Amino acid sequence: MSKSRKKGNYPKMSNPYLYNKLVQAHYQELLHEAEQQRMLAQLPQRQPHLMRNVARRLAAFLMSLPFSTKKVVQPARKVTSQL
Q: How far is residue 56's CA from residue 50's CA, in Å, rounded to a whole number? A: 10
Environment class of residue 19 by beta-carbon count within 10 Å: exposed (0-12), middle (13-18) or buried (19+)? middle
* Position 68 in a domain: no
* Position 50 in a domain: no
* Position 27 in a domain: yes
The total domain count for the chain is: 1
Provide the sign of the torsion angle of the four alpha carbons 26, 28, 29, 30, taken in this order: positive
DSSP code, position 9: S
* Position 19 in a domain: yes
DSSP code, position 5: S
* Position 24 in a domain: yes
Give the residue numbers spanning the domain of 38.
13-43
* Position 37 in a domain: yes
* Position 21 in a domain: yes
What is the reported pTM?
0.41
* Position 18 in a domain: yes
Summarised one tens digit per residue, pLDDT across range 25-77 is 999 999 999 999 999 888 887 777 888 888 899 888 888 887 665 555 566 66
